[in-house]
Amino acid sequence: MRITNPALIQVLIKALADSNSSNILALTASRPLSVMDIVERTNIPISSAYRRISQLEEQGLIGVDRTIVTPEGKSYNKYKASFSQVTVKFQDGEFLVEVIPNKKIVDRAARLFFSFDRRKD
């Protein structure tokens, strides 16, 4: 799937250029992980990991795959990247970004977006 939206291309390229963001996206491209899983695998400070995941989620590049509730009643999220694969290339004088979406995450984001109440003022 080719991305043609210039704003999404810019957000994605910026995230890929940032080492923390690209590490998070790469780790969660194929499997959902909690923030603590990500911290353990990357050595990103926990506050930075939460902040970066929040930013990636706002940008639509990562989403909650599922919420886990522990026996003690605490909950935490497992996150998954919106894309399982990203290819950036130059072809015939054009800058192309092609992705393979993680369907579950993309569908969930779309349902959330379209579920907002759109009242007329």
The pLDDT tens digits of the residues spanning 20-67 come to 999 999 999 999 999 999 999 998 999 999 999 999 999 989 999 999
What is the mean predicted confidence (pLDDT) over 74-91? 94
E-assigned strand segments in the chain: 2-3, 62-69, 75-81, 83-91, 94-101
As a whole number of angstroms, the distance between CA 97 and CA 89 comes to 7
Asked whether 23 and 39 are in contact (CB, 8 A), the reply is: no
In angstroms and rounded to an integer, the radius of gyration of the C-alpha atoms of the chain is 16
In a domain, 119, yes or no: no
Domain with 27 in it: 2-113
**3-state class percentages of the chain: helix first, strand second, coil last, to nearest 5:** 45, 30, 25
How many distinct structural domains can be found in the chain? 1
- State the Cα angle at 69 between 111 and 106, rounded to 5°: 20
Does any domain span residue 32? yes
Instruction: Report how far residue 80's alpha carbon sits from residue 62's, in angstroms, rounded to the nearest whole number.
Output: 6
What is the per-residue pLDDT for 103? 83
Q: What is the pTM of this model?
A: 0.82
For the chain, percent of residues with pLDDT exceeding 90: 72
Residue 3 bridge partners (DSSP): 97
Question: What CATH number is given to the structural domain containing 96?
Answer: 1.10.10.10
Instruction: Give CA angle at 38 (37, 40), nearest 5°.
Output: 65
